[in-house]
Amino acid sequence: MKRSSAFTMIELVFVIVILGILAALALPRFDRDLRQEAADNVLSSIRYTQHLALNDDKTDPFDNQWQKELWAIRFTTAASGSYYNVSSDINQNGSVSKDETAIDPSNGKYMYHHHNNPVQANESPNVLLGKKYGVGSIDFTGTGCSLKHIAFDHLGRPHNSIGGASNDYSTYMNTDCNITFTFTGGSPNSFSIIIKKETGYAYIDGQDDS
């Protein structure tokens, strides 16, 4: 008689159990990747903002308000989700419009959003930290960065509170700034970006070589 080979029931059960174990081990890895992806996004945008400032000297000793025009990354926490803009307040009116915003080099779209408006097709999805990653809150720690933005001058130095800028460099950030990003529901774990005073060097907390 000709016998046909096949898996026994016990073998199939063992395969299912092993697949279940592998799936359980993979879930934490997915959480870490989501957290890392969000952290890399924010860090990259902070450094891109500094890069724009290094290549666009806004210094004007004949204009007491010139620091308002510094390239800055501004973070917002809204009911619709957290996001950031990268922009320069060219007309110094205290609010930033889309045409004053940087272009995302990864997709050619504006690094801009406003929570009062629906997301537009020409706005980069990378700025939507809430929608893309589930970031629920953004907290700034440090006396040098009390307001939720970081600006840079043509030497790459960090500034804060540029909305009330004058010609005396009082906006110059003289303490390190810690920005903590917390995910909705508390998972994955929060992460922090550190921006050093004077130099503006930014890195992911716990990843000094990031």
Q: How many CA atoms lie within 13 A of 193 on its CB side?
A: 27
Per-residue pLDDT band for 170 (boundaries 50, 70, 90) equals confident
DSSP state of 140: E
Q: How far apart are CA 164 and CA 143, in angstroms?
A: 16
Q: How many CA atoms lie within 13 A of 20 on its CB side?
A: 6
CB neighbour class for 3 (10 Å; exposed up to 12, middle 13-18, buried from 19)? exposed
- Tell me the pLDDT tens digit for each residue of 111-147: 999 999 999 999 999 999 999 999 999 999 876 787 8
Helices (H), ranges, 120-187:
129-133
Task: Identify which has the larger pLDDT, 30 or 87.
Answer: 87
Closest by alpha carbon to 71, among 93, 94, 99, 49? 49
- Highest mean pLDDT: which of 5-19, 23-37, 43-57, 159-173? 43-57
- List, in order, residues 6 or more apart from 19 with CB less than 8 Å away: none
Residue 137 phi, psi (nearest 5): -145, 150
Hey, is 194 helix, strand or coil?
strand
pLDDT cut 90: percent of the chain above it: 66
Q: How far apart are CA 26 and CA 23, in angstroms?
A: 5
Q: Among positive and negative, which fits the CA dihedral 114, 126, 73, 106?
A: negative
Hey, is 72 helix, strand or coil?
strand
How much is the pLDDT for 146?
Answer: 76
DSSP state of 95: S
